[in-house]
A = this chain, B = another copy of it.
Amino acid sequence: MTAEAKAAVPAAPPLTERQEARRRRILHASAQLASRGGFDAVQMREVAEAAGVALGTLYRYFPSKIHLLVATMQDQLQHLHGTLRKHPPSGTGSAERVAETLMRAFRALQREPHLADAMVRALTFADRSVSPEVDTVSRQTTAIILDAMGLDHPTPEQLSAVRVIEHTWHSALITWLSGRASIAQVKIDIETVCRLIDLTAPARDQRA
């Protein structure tokens, strides 16, 4: 919680070309299988086979199924962030733009609901041993939201609002994935929580 900003993964031994390729094949196989049948369909033996790699090797690259799926999510988020940078949200207010961005991400997930299931379940099921990786995902998400808000130097209050938005985002996704909330409801929840942003705007109308 204190001061270790920069690199969450201090020792990232440089991978050879073949190793990079293996890693990529594994992530691809993971996403592929996840797209078919969700979390349960990502079976370590199958991932290994599809990636053309021994089971032990798979575990050397990703020490658990959860690690693998969280890494898969990092991968997908990176894509998304790139896409969003190229086509920024069009709304005029911060709240609107954030809601628009999240809804766009949501629609992307709807196109691959099984993949979404695998990634989100892994993310919320992760225990302490996966904290660094999950934290990376969280930072990526935060960056996306701050981008949408157009903020470079958020106040602590605004960061709180962003954290709450992330909470809502993850949890709303889960209720949708498990069939307990409709798409429309997720939309409402996102729009509702985005109202918090205006509440923390540094400008006028502050009387608390």
User: Residues of A with Cβ closer than 8 Å to B?
Assistant: 1, 39, 121, 124-128, 130-131, 134-135, 138, 157, 160-161, 163-164, 166-168, 170-172, 174-175, 178-180, 182, 185, 188-189, 192-193, 195-196, 199
Partner of A171, one of B168, B178, B182: B168
- Are A1 and B171 interface neighbours, CB within 8 A? no
Distance between Cα atoms of A150 and B189 in the complex (Å): 22
Distance between Cα atoms of A182 and B1 in the complex (Å): 8
For residue A168, which residues in chain B have a CB less than 8 angstroms away from its CB?
Answer: 164, 167-168, 171, 193
- Are B192 and A131 interface neighbours, CB within 8 A? no
For residue A195, which residues in chain B have a CB less than 8 angstroms away from its CB?
Answer: 196, 199
- Are B178 and A126 interface neighbours, CB within 8 A? yes
A100 to chain B, nearest CB (A): 17
Whether A161 contacts B125 in the complex (CB less than 8 A), given A134-B180, A138-B180, A170-B171, comes out as no
A5 to chain B, nearest CB (A): 15
For residue A179, which residues in chain B have a CB less than 8 angstroms away from its CB?
Answer: 128, 131
Query: What are 17 of the A-B contact pairs (CB < 8 Å)?
Result: A1-B185, A121-B124, A121-B125, A124-B125, A128-B178, A128-B179, A131-B178, A131-B179, A135-B180, A138-B180, A164-B192, A166-B171, A167-B171, A170-B171, A193-B193, A195-B196, A196-B196
Distance between Cα atoms of A39 and B163 in the complex (Å): 26
Distance between Cα atoms of A170 and B173 in the complex (Å): 12
For residue A193, which residues in chain B have a CB less than 8 angstroms away from its CB?
Answer: 164, 167-168, 193, 196
For residue A135, which residues in chain B have a CB less than 8 angstroms away from its CB?
Answer: 180
